[in-house]
Structure 1
């Protein structure tokens, strides 16, 4: 890992909170993510299962966590199983956690090698009534791949068919969405690195630069500051590319007179930033570009003010839609008489602003949380309105990351340049 060590108090507290919500007589089992093959003997870069990381702080493949607070054998109330290294692994793959390193990273004292898992689990699971299994229940995920937790669940059902199987996701959905002080700090670090990459790009950008050159500048800054890398595939969308919401080809030349839409964020210690900005390639907005930009910025600021504890995502989105409708009328894109007659279930603003305004942010970019539960203190949400005008080849999106606190909200990206005049000043300095 590139990032600095994280206090294991975070993971110890996360485990404590999780087991406090399980039923009496329960054992919970969590697996690290699979290693996915590319072809031959190559695998994709390993990315840890966010739930496993949330509970352990362990960033290594082929690892298993067992939590059994009522275990009659005190040695196995919480156990971490790791892949045991050897000379061959050390030569070909490099360093793996020692038991002492794993204790320090996770706060778990009982560490065993992976080959002991079946024996130890069998010695305790028959004293448990409930078995909690971790499944991917993010409502943005469509299950097509039988990932490790699911495969192990099927094996457990065959071996222990009369246990009562429970869903860890119901607990984790409530826990992960409320960020601790340490998690906020890690997210802030990701946002700070993202800021530095953005300012670097503003000073680099000029007509004739290719989108992939900009991506390279961002990547350089991320890795230079010990980020894991990109939180997601970066969008570097110049000109008409900006009206494609998830444009990631990043292979075109940036032309004089165009606006370029950036959507990128650093990942630091598995926590993610998610930022969007739209800037003029030549360093100066045209009057029309500036008018659309300022309209989006006004929507973002009003929407940010509504991200408070107690707000509900659906109602919040409806209110943002009303604000956006007013701005689109002001820009001459909608007619107020047409708006008065619109179908409430298909509002006209969606022609120009077709995505949601906010999503939860954390260990996943679209973080685990309920879209039906009210916002809470400790939530981090994006705020990302946009206007996309196909006929003008112009797309503007502005996005910051907002932490809800007891005293209101706090913009974790408040230091990142966002005013049009400030962006122009940096680009022309």
Structure 2
């Protein structure tokens, strides 16, 4: 791994919190992610299952975790299974965890090789009443591939049909949204790397550079600072490309007079940053671009103040919609008549601001969370309003990552240039 070692107290405490919420006399099974083929003889770069990493800190394929806090044999209360390395794997794939390294990383004492899994599981599972299986219940996910945890569920249900089966996701949905101090530090590191990449880009952008050259500058800074890479496919959208919300072609020339919208974030130790900025390619906003930029910035600042413990996402988005409506009227993109006759299910402002303002952030960019539960202390949420005007050939979006604390919220990206004057100053110096 490129990132520095993580204090294993994070994973020890995460496991303790998880098992406290399981039913008495339960076995829990977690798998690492599958490896996915890229072509005839290669696989895509491995990305660990977020839940598995949350509980173990192990960033390696073909790994399994068993938790059985009420196990009659205390040796098997926690067991971590790893792929056993050999000389061939060492030569062709490189270093894999030793048992001692895995103990140090995870805080799990009983580490076994993977070929012991079936034997050990069978010796203990018949003493349990319940079996917890992990499934992907992120409501942004559409299931189409039978991933490893689901395949294990089918196997277990066939071998042990009379056990009661439970869902780990119900527990993790509540746990993962509350970030510990270590998780906040890792997210702050991702944000700091993202800041440095953005400042680098501000000094690089000028008319005639291509979107992919800008992406290359960002990637260079990320890797230079031990980031695993991009938290998601970066959006480098100049001119009217900014009106495509998930534009990732990044293959056009940035022209004099254009606005370039950047939506990118670093991934560090599997924790993610998520930032958006919109800058003038030539270093100076036009009068109209500045009007729209300032309108988005005012909505962003107002929305940030609403990100507090106890707020409901639906109410929050409704209030942000009111702010945006007022700004759009001020920009003469809407008038009061448009608002008076609007369909409440599809407010008039949605013509120019069609996406949500905030989502949870963590091990997943759109982190696993209950969107119907009030915001809580320890949540990290994005704040990302935007105004998109295809007829005028540009769009502007701004985004920072906000941590809710007992004393209010903290902008984890407060040190990233945001004000229009600051951006122009850096670009012209």
Query: How does 1:207-356 map onto structure 2 within 5 Å?
Result: 207-356=207-356
Q: CA deviation at 1:343?
A: 1.6
Q: CA deviation at 1:332?
A: 0.3
Q: Which ranges of structure 2 fall in alignment gaps of 5 or more residues?
A: none
Instruction: State TM-score, norm by structure 1.
Output: 1.00
Partner of 2:82: 82
Instruction: State TM-score, norm by structure 2.
Output: 1.00
Partner of 1:420: 420
Greater than 6 Å deviation, 4+ residue runs = none
Partner of 1:5: 5
Partner of 1:177: 177
Q: CA RMSD in A?
A: 0.4
Q: Aligned pair 1:357/2:320, yes or no? A: no
Partner of 2:105: 105
Q: Which ranges of structure 1 fall in alignment gaps of 5 or more residues?
A: none
Q: CA deviation at 1:338?
A: 2.0
SS at match of 1:262: strand
For 2:390 and 2:127, the matched residues in 1 are separated by: 63
Q: CA deviation at 1:344?
A: 1.2
For 1:125 and 1:12, the matched residues in 2 are separated by: 23
Partner of 2:384: 384
SS at match of 1:298: helix
Q: CA deviation at 1:393?
A: 1.2
For 2:126 and 2:40, the matched residues in 1 are separated by: 40
Q: CA deviation at 1:341?
A: 2.2
Query: How does 1:63-142 map onto structure 2 within 5 Å?
Result: 63-142=63-142
1:119-148 Cα distance to aligned partner (Å, 9 max, x none)? 000000000000000000000000000000
Q: CA deviation at 1:337?
A: 2.0
Q: CA deviation at 1:43?
A: 0.1
For 2:75 and 2:338, the matched residues in 1 are separated by: 69
Query: How does 1:148-187 map onto structure 2 within 5 Å?
Result: 148-187=148-187
1:366-391 Cα distance to aligned partner (Å, 9 max, x none)? 00001100000000000000000011
SS at match of 1:391: helix
1:156-181 Cα distance to aligned partner (Å, 9 max, x none)? 01111110000000000000000000
For 2:255 and 2:11, the matched residues in 1 are separated by: 48
Q: CA deviation at 1:345?
A: 1.3
For 1:374 and 1:18, the matched residues in 2 are separated by: 21
For 2:34 and 2:333, the matched residues in 1 are separated by: 48
SS at match of 1:183: helix
Partner of 1:20: 20
Q: Aligned pair 1:53/2:53, yes or no? A: yes
1:54-110 Cα distance to aligned partner (Å, 9 max, x none)? 000000000000000000000000000000001110111000000000000000000
For 2:338 and 2:84, the matched residues in 1 are separated by: 67
For 1:331 and 1:98, the matched residues in 2 are separated by: 61
